[in-house]
Amino acid sequence: MTPAAALKKLMQRPPVLSVACAESVTGGNVQALLTSVSGASDYFLGGITAYSLDEKVRCLGVNRAHARRANSVSQQVAVEMAVGACRLFDADLSVATTGYAEPARAHGIKVPMAWWAIHHRLGGGSAVVISGCVEVTGEDRVGVQLRVAETVLAELVAYVRELHGARKKKARRKKAPKKTAAKKRAPKRR
């Protein structure tokens, strides 16, 4: 089963969650993978490929000063992109990617790499954020973009699977009968 098909299966379970995407290095590949299965429109709201610094700032609310210092490639930029995608599409979950699809010696990058982030909006203004970095060797530019997209989609599937597993356990705990200690009663006298 492909990660996109696995995500669809997971997203059909209650509670229904929505997903959005913000991409840079992957150039739309995450969105393409998400929509490669029929019925993705039930949970995938949309995505943005914000390739330039100006678009990351304007559309996603990325901090310009930090992004400029990091050439738009850092864990913080990935997280801000994910937060921005949730806000832009009013989604429950979002994924984001930013990185280098090929070596960039001027920036000290010898191996293609990307930062990714998953943002899950919870009630009351709180959120869960997961992020990571992936390096890809032995691929051309297009291969790197696809491998990064597959990696972030696999991470999203793992997170949603864990989320549903945690909710299942919580539901089982609620349904389990409470154990009560038996009380001895003195015989009634009449």
Q: What is 88-103 written as a DSSP string?
A: HHT-SEEEEEEEESS-
pLDDT in tens, 39-72: 999 999 999 999 999 999 999 999 999 999 999 9
Q: Percent of the chain having pLDDT more than 90?
A: 81
pLDDT in tens, 107-153: 999 999 999 999 999 988 899 999 999 999 999 999 999 999 999 99
Is the pLDDT higher at 177 or at 8? Answer: 8
Length of the chain: 190
- When pLDDT is averaged across residues 173-181 and rounded to a whole number, the result is 46
In this prediction, residue 14 carries a pLDDT of: 85
Domains of the chain: 3-175 (3.90.950.20)
Q: Which amino acid, one-letter code, is at 11?
A: M
3-state helix, strand, coil in the chain (%, to 5): 45, 20, 35
pTM of the model: 0.86
How many other C-beta atoms lie within 10 A of the C-beta of residue 54?
A: 12
Q: What is 33-82 written as a DSSP string?
A: HHTTSTTGGGTEEEEEE--SHHHHHHHH---HHHHHHTTT-SHHHHHHHH
